Amino acid sequence: MNNLSVGTIIGLEIRGMGINGEGIGYFNKLAVFVPGAIQKEKVYVEIKEVYDKYAVGKITEITEKSTKRVEPFCKFYEECGGCTMQHIELVEQLKIKQQLLMEALKKYTSLDLSKIRIEKTVASDDVDYRNKSQMPLRDTSFGLALGLFAPGSNRFVFIDRCPIQEDIVNDVNSKVLTALLKYKQHTKKEGGVLKYLVVRGIQESECAQVTFVLEEYREIFQVIASELVKNKEIKSVSYTIQNKSGVQIFGDKTILLSGSEYLRDEMLSLKIRLSAKSFYQLNKKQSEKLYSEIMLDMKDEKDDIIFDGYSGIGILGLLLAQNASHVYSVDLNSDSIKNARIIARENDIKNATFFSDRIEKRFPELVREGIKPDIVLLDPPRSGLSKEVIDTLNEIAAKKVYYVSCNPSTLAKNLEELKKVYSISYMRPYDFFPETAHVETLCVLEKKE
């Protein structure tokens, strides 16, 4: 039984790092999570929340600073919550991300980590890596503004420029906001219909795609869209209606107002088209590194049948198609599958088939049709693989599985279930999201003899 209460100030030595980038200390064996603290620091914290198994504290004083502590470069860092590790030098962030992966494996698996090859975290080339923003619009005391919400609250934080977004995204955000102010547009609070502004930008080709998320459509947005595409970098302006509660930003449909329906880009050897709703990795350069690693690992594989699960717009499967017998790509997002078919056609790739479907349903159906994969590609959401998918993977026993995970905990839990049939060749964490605690991991699995 702990005797902590809200408002108590205690001294802590930070002994570890949490999955959200917070420091972890212990008070009478109770874990205390401290945002902004770094391993090996000594701090005083004020207890803000107390639960049965842990507490949350706020730093009041750092008595022994880590040599890895740096000054955050974003003026909104303390308020925004979009980044959680700007106060830690980048090299140390890479070590922490590898550590988070190893701790998840220790906690959720019975694997002998001494026998598993876990590589160092692959650094990102850039800190301003995000090629897309999805930012809420709010009416404030100084007018309509873009921003984000402070962590764990509905408090709006105005942000005029986000330093982890690519310049083109910030520049287009500014131009769109100027146009909205010119035409006196507002959120529901002030009788308007604005909810979010979504901007995707391709820095190399200087082109961008704009999507308004609205409560309802009004004709003035056609006028605004026609004006926006006069900017040479804004190639596309669309809108979507989202008037339901929940965390979903896009509505069911996206309607083009002006410009092109698709944004053009290139990924390694592929020409790509992107619709507004299609999934595309936020850190393109890291994606290219990851895909190149898988391609290199498969360089000697010829004429394989590949199942590509959670395929998005199908980039990895299409890159591998040139040496494969056939690629079967599955994703629930129908817009992404539509994009994938266009990309295959534009790149003259004929040995790829695409399904807008659940993995749990389509993979077993393909197997029942007599199609058995040699290689499986997986890039699931944070929730990881369902039991049905794991059972299917164990049943088909492909010779290799490339599992790209965005959540070390669910990856570890899945590996515990897959170890009956597969062994781990190696694992390599990737820093797709510098300044945050998020870590992507490539896990290469091989069928046991």
241-287: pLDDT as tens digits: 998 877 789 998 999 999 999 999 999 989 999 999 988 999 999 99
Q: What is the DSSP letter of 398?
A: -
Structure tokens at 369: 């049709």
Count how many residues are written for the chain. Answer: 449
For domain 106-124+282-447, the CATH superfamily is Vaccinia Virus protein VP39 (3.40.50.150)
How far apart (Å, rounded) are the C-alpha atoms in residues 269 and 288? 10
On the question of pLDDT at 300 being above 90, the answer is no
Q: How many CA atoms lie within 13 Å of 1's alpha carbon, on the beta-carbon side?
A: 1
| Model confidence pLDDT, tens digit, residues 54-110 | 999 999 999 999 999 999 999 999 899 899 999 999 999 999 999 999 999 999 999
Would you list the DSSP string of 303-353? S-EEEEET-TT-HHHHHHGGGSSEEEEEES-HHHHHHHHHHHHHTT--SEE
Model confidence band, residue 360 (pLDDT cutoffs 50, 70, 90): very high
Whole-number Å distance between alpha carbons of 156 and 237:
25
Q: Residue ranges per domain, the chain?
A: 9-69, 106-124+282-447, 132-267
pLDDT at 194 over 80: yes
Domain covering 132-267 in this structure, CATH number: 2.40.50.1070
Q: Say if residue 1's pLDDT is above 60.
A: no
Answer yes or no: 406 catalytic.
yes
CATH class of 9-69: mainly beta
**pLDDT value, residue 309:** 97
> Once rounded to an integer, what is the mean pLDDT over residues 402-427?
97
Angle between helix 90-108 and 408-418 (nearest 10): 40
Q: How confident is the model at residue 410 (pLDDT cuts 50, 70, 90)?
A: very high
pLDDT at 245 (0 to 100):
76
Do 9-69 and 132-267 share a fold?
yes
| Residue 113 falls in which region: left (phi positive, over 0), alpha (psi -120 to 50) or beta | alpha
pLDDT digit string (tens) for 100-153? Answer: 999 999 999 999 999 999 999 999 999 999 999 999 999 999 999 999 998 878
pLDDT confidence of residue 2: 64
Rounded mean pLDDT of the chain? 95
Whether residue 321 contacts residue 291, with contact meaning beta carbons closer than 8 Å, is answered with no
Q: In sequence order, which residues have a C-beta less than 8 Å from that of residue 180 and are 6 or more positions away?
A: 137, 144, 194, 224
Q: Is 285 helix (H, G, I), strand (E, B) or coil?
A: helix
Residue 374 tokens read as 């040699």
User: Measured between alpha carbons, how far is residue 28 from residues 32, 36, 326, 384, 427 in Å?
Assistant: 10, 22, 58, 34, 36
Q: Give Cβ neighbours of residue 409 (< 8 Å, ≥ 6 apart).
A: 19, 104, 107, 108
Measuring CA to CA, which residue among 36, 41, 87, 88 is closest to residue 64? 41
For the whole model, what pTM was predicted?
0.93
Of 291, 292, 297, the C-alpha closest to 312 is 291
The residue annotated as part of the active site, out of 80, 83, 406, 443, is 406
The letter for the amino acid at 313 is: I
How far are the Cα atoms of 75, 81, 206, 446 from residue 85, in angstroms, in the given order? Answer: 14, 10, 29, 34
Instruction: Let me know if 369 is exposed, middle or buried by CB neighbors in 10 A (0-12, 13-18, 19+).
Output: exposed
d(CA 169, CA 88): 25
Q: Residue 247: its pLDDT value, please? A: 78
**Contact call for residues 208 and 235 (beta carbons, < 8 A):** yes
Does the structure show a pLDDT above 80 at 306?
yes
Residues 289 and 362 sit within 8 Å (Cβ to Cβ)? no
Residue 244 pLDDT = 81
Q: Say what the pLDDT of residue 271 is.
A: 95
